[in-house]
Amino acid sequence: MADLFRELLVNPDSENACLFDDDEREEFIFQLMKAVATGGSMCQYEDQWKPYLDAVKLTYKDMLKVYKNANTGKIQVASHVFRVTGLAGAGLFPVDNDHNACFVAVDPTARTVTVWYSAFVPFW
């Protein structure tokens, strides 16, 4: 099971790619899982899926802030998450690679910003 998910996260031409539609692939949790499961250039992936799920779940909870709407009683996400792909006039990543990831979560209620950065650094 872990190999199936890892393969579809990394290979957009996978025969299993249809398990997630385009909207689901844009979700923050999908992008976070993709970055964690892909790892770096020297990644020695885990044969079990649970360590990935645990790591992503904890990171997701740390980055996003939620609150209970007093009027509706429903849980709502307060944070806004942005994927940063570059900075004008500065190099954000050492090389251009599909596995580079930088997410910025802004919590407007607490006026805080949380950054998660993972650069794919080639090993040669």
Alpha-carbon gap, residue 39 to 33, rounded angstroms: 10
The per-residue pLDDT for 2 is 61
* 123 part of a folded domain: no
Q: Give the model confidence (pLDDT) of 2-33 as tens digits.
A: 666 777 777 778 787 778 888 988 899 989 98
pLDDT tens digit string along 71-102? 999 999 999 999 998 888 888 998 888 888 99
State yes or no: pLDDT of 103 exceeds 90. Answer: yes
Domain contains 56: yes
Residue 124 lies in a domain: no
In a domain? residue 106 = yes
Written as six digits, the tokens of 92 are 């954000």
pLDDT-based confidence at residue 44 (cuts at 50, 70, 90): low
CA dihedral 48, 49, 54, 55 (to 10 degrees): 90
Q: Which domain holds residue 78?
A: 2-118
- Number of residues assigned to the chain: 124
pTM as predicted: 0.80
The pLDDT of residue 41: 65
| Residue scoring higher pLDDT (115 or 6) | 115
pLDDT digits (tens, 9 = 90+) for 51-64: 888 999 999 999 99
State how many domains the chain has. Answer: 1
Residue 42 to residue 32: CA distance in whole angstroms: 18
